[in-house]
Structure 1
């Protein structure tokens, strides 16, 4: 049997026949490029999943598209690797290859899907886009999309990654094992001195008292890898240039998940008819 890409229920992949679930939504399917999507923007550990959960609690029945990871697996990675890819560094490398021919990255991958309106309704939420290239491409090419950017400092993101125990958040540690002093091992990671201050590196090293040093190194490497591929600050700056009804930027350190959900709902409601409501 020919291997099949991961299924995205009630969505059709570009240039594929699709699974039964996908075909069931074929009549009248619309490109997501034309949908009034509400798109969450942010890198790993800023609180997108937590905020999305709070939104679903506040608004039961909210339709949420398959997340970035699932769309990446089906649209970006499968055509390049032909197999599941779990290592974060390898995923970054393959998605970089995808972007060589698709400069909009995830924005283009998402827009290439067709959705069944009978299942998704007329609006939906997606988690999420990252970095300036994806955000700028989406804002320019998909005028019906609206954006909610969530941000948090990099050191906070590391602590959140350590706390959530997500089995997806792993990378190979060859060449950066936590041997000897954790502070020295952290500082030796490529890019660490540019991303973290000396005081932040000290704080991260102190996390080794409660977590395995190898885990601390792994989470820091994830944050550094994302910073190499995506610049969250540049994405936020671009979103701030859009009309306020198209973009909302929130700090997930200053706001708890319930406050984030309330701000998003108030912003979506204020957009009036035609706005993508979250």
Structure 2
């Protein structure tokens, strides 16, 4: 494995004696695609009650992309392409990358929390290979996820888009995978976001991010796989039906 440039983390086969293999640690792992409410969950789980490991983006950069690219990659769609290449050789994807690391107990005494896993292959791999890991599965409809991306102003949420003279609805309909992910009414709702003050190019870009992610990871399949685990290993949270306070309360009661 490529040497990992993350604080207090190394490949297990290169770690000094006394370091803790994450594969054997009782990790609490958030599962969900972009915009499902993982930040709300982390706000509850972090602090004195738990240490949040470097997140998916950081592990992706240090383990996956660093082995496939000559430099940093910021475009979300290009990152999806590179991580897909990584998964061709490592079918467990992020679960396999994370499980191959060991932690310095002086830096990471725990309890440890990771944000996060996505898709069927990752959760199946994690559930089967790392029996000490527990999972918090978060989900929200794709239209809600686009709206949340528009509202959070994260510099990471960017792709290159070329807005043309066609109506926004037509451009949304023309996006690769659009018809497979969104119902016609969904696309109407997304186009109508321009009337709420959102820039059309931003709506198009955030929709492309959601589409690219959905074409690489199937959240419904991941959720179904997790539902087969015993209840002490998985907590399922609908972040639309539940308020942030209710999400926090259920997390506190479960963990």
- TM-score, L = length of structure 1: 0.86
**What is residue 63 of structure 2 aligned with on the other side?**
75
| Superposition RMSD in Å | 1.8
Over 4 Å off, 4+ runs: none
Distance in 2 separating the partners of 1:253 and 1:148: 15
1:262 equivalent among 237, 244, 249 = 249
Gaps of 5+ in 1: 17-22, 269-278
Indicate which of 177, 182, 202 corresponds to 1:191. 177
Is 2:194 aligned against 1:208? yes
Q: Indicate if the aligned counterparts of 2:12 and 2:21 stay in contact, CA closer than 8 A.
A: no
Q: Would the alpha carbon gap of residues 15 and 208 (structure 1) be closer, same or farther in structure 2, given more than 3 Å must change?
A: farther
SS in 2 for 1:147: strand
| Residue 89, structure 1, aligned to residue 58, structure 2 | no
Q: Which SS does the other structure have where 2:106 is aligned?
A: helix
Give the drift of 1:61: 5.0
Is residue 7 of structure 1 aligned with residue 5 of structure 2?
yes
SS at match of 1:81: coil
Shift in CA distance, 33/185, structure 1 to aligned 2, threshold 3 Å: same
1:155 to 143, 147, 162: 143
- TM norm structure 2: 0.94
Matched, 1:125 2:113: yes
Runs of at least 5 residues in structure 2 that lack an aligned partner in the other structure: none
Aligned pairs (5 A) from 1:24-103: 26-56=16-46, 60=48, 62-103=50-91
Change (3 A) 1:79 1:15: farther
